[in-house]
Amino acid sequence: MIKLLKYDLKRNATLLLGGMAILLLCEFVLLWSRATDEVKIVLSVLFFGAVAVIYFISSLRVFDYNITTVSRRLVPVGALSYVGASLLYGLLNSLVLTVIGAAFTAYMVVNLGGGFSWAGQIPVWAIVLIVVEYLFLLVYGFLTFYVTIALARSLVTKGVFWIGLLIFIVLTIVLSYVEDFLFGQDSSALFGSVDLEWSSQSGVLARELPGLLSAWQTWGSIVFEGL
């Protein structure tokens, strides 16, 4: 699995390193520019979004490449190694991008005006829970797409994209329906394990620090997705 990952990274090194270099360059230019804070935040989100999309597509292409090309299918490894290597590739890229994004966000929070001092008050357990759920979402998301690609590849040789899209839509609707039926909520809510609320009280924006959302529906839904 690690050997497959090594060659996946080598094969896509130009794309990954090039994308990262361009992103960092754009971000630094943006930070040192005279643009307003709002413009900096919006452009920064756009830059990260663009690279995230490119990396995400690359991750899906890696899985597709591993299960379709003769050179990869001939190597004496188990079927799960292809999934594991592709998943690690996707997670690794996502996490590197997340860490860089978090660093820029922290810099902006500290340097682009106040209003974010509450961020330091988030308890450690909530941060851990958010990170765990983020990882879970990444794994769940990638695996859902891998299942879609594998199914589409096994069904047709032409029009794989459209069949894959159809399978993905059906899969998403069915899962949402089952979750809604079982737990009264679907998987569309992100970071459902931590409850952080903002509300307007007498014209002043107030917030409630994170609390553990203990509803069994939320955790049941997460466990269901995990299964």
- Residue closer to another protein by CB (options 157, 214) is 157
Q: How many residues bind another protein (CB under 8 A)?
A: 15
Instruction: Pick the closer one to another protein by CB: 45 or 57.
Output: 57
The separation between CA 118 and the C-alpha centre of its own chain, rounded to angstroms, equals 25
Nearer to another protein, 52 or 77 (CB): 77
Give the sign of the dihedral formed by CA 161, CA 63, CA 149, CA 56. Answer: negative
Among 34, 38, 74, 158, binds another protein (CB under 8 A): 74
Helix (H) or strand (E) holding 6: helix 2-11
Q: How far apart are CA 25 and CA 27, in angstroms?
A: 5
Nearer to another protein, 13 or 131 (CB): 13
Q: Which of 34, 38, 70, 202 binds another protein (CB under 8 A)?
A: 70
Compose the 8-37 pattern: x for residues touching another protein by CB under 8 A, - for all others: --xx-xx-----------------------
Does residue 71 touch another protein according to CB under 8 A? yes
Tell me if 179 sits within 8 A of 187, measured CB to CB.
yes
Q: What is the DSSP string of 37-102?
A: HHHHHHHHHHHHHHHHHHHHHHHHHHHHHHHH-HHHHHSS--HHHHHHHHHHHHHHHHHHHHHHHH
Query: Nearest distance from residue 118's CB to another protein, in Å?
Result: 47
The residues of the shown chain that bind another protein, judged by CB under 8 A, are 3, 6-7, 10-11, 13-14, 70-71, 73-78
